[in-house]
Structure 1
């Protein structure tokens, strides 16, 4: 089928099912993170990426890419996290244009406090709803979709750079 042809009933069911489930899961995740630690889901993702990074810090540009946020959206999130003492920004000694985002001890503690609830939501509302086989198929399918989307972003970024 071509990219502009109408979706078949099976395709429409898959698309609407994905859309509905992802929105509902996101809503429940946001509610739990707010309740357990006053964090939004994007803030949680930023803290998690920093916690996993070497030295608990990343360049802002790398963090934006890893957290799949635009640079302006990341700046907004980091500003909020910095205001709450969970992250701090530092100038990069080796590159004056770069800025590091660093996870503070308070940020690590807040992340540790909300992670059990985050895992509980993922397990209860996604993992436990599927069989082992369904998890395998879903994981493989979403990997393919993610790879396709990442490649599209890379091509678009290359095209933008070549236009300059």
Structure 2
């Protein structure tokens, strides 16, 4: 995996074509609206923001419903500081519990509680319906495949490897 080259300050920028500009603006418009739509749905129906739902999902899919905090931050692509704040709130609601990491005394685990699992089961149907209504009900099967391939290509290019990569969960 290589990172894209950084243009030299003396080089003329590669401006977007009209078609690229149209696609970029449509993408930005849709992602802002989608993020807001999903966040409002989860706040209204489950009393939690979208990021908290993502944290509960990641924990529910982990072995023993627990992950090291750094692995959880990486999984949901957020800073450790934002994760710590979110876990504090999820603990206060009784949905997550922090535990000492048995393999590393400096590390901590976040563990999904039974109450958190029940909350996730309660919230999931409405969230899936909102995702389906906002995205997949509007796409053909071919467009769904293309969307997955496009987003994977973008994500792969933006997630550089190596110890010096400036990624949110390392901050």
TM over 0.5: yes
- Mapped to 2, the partners of 1:39 and 1:10 lie a distance apart of 38
Partner residue in 1 for 2:130: 121
- Mapped to 2, the partners of 1:34 and 1:104 lie a distance apart of 20
Q: Do the aligned residues in 2 keep the contact of 1:36 with 1:113 (CA within 8 Å)?
A: no
Q: Quote the offset at 1:94 in angstroms.
A: 2.1
- What whole-Å deviation, never above 9, does each CA across 1:78-133 have from its counterpart, x for those lacking one? 01101111101001122111100000111111111111111111111100111111
What is the aligned length?
156
- Where do 1:30-69 residues align within 5 Å? 30-69=39-78
Q: Quote the offset at 1:158 in angstroms.
A: 2.7
Q: Which runs of 5+ in 2 are unaligned?
A: 1-5, 8-12, 167-171
Pair 1:143 & 2:152 matched:
yes
Q: 1:89 to 1:19 in 2, by over 3 A?
A: same
* Structure that is richer in helix per residue: 1
- Where do 1:13-162 residues align within 5 Å? 13-151=22-160, 154-155=161-162, 157-158=163-164
Superposed CA RMSD: 1.5
- Mapped to 1, the partners of 2:129 and 2:45 lie a distance apart of 12
Q: Secondary structure at the match of 1:49?
A: helix
- What whole-Å deviation, never above 9, does each CA across 1:29-59 have from its counterpart, x for those lacking one? 0111011111101101000000000000000
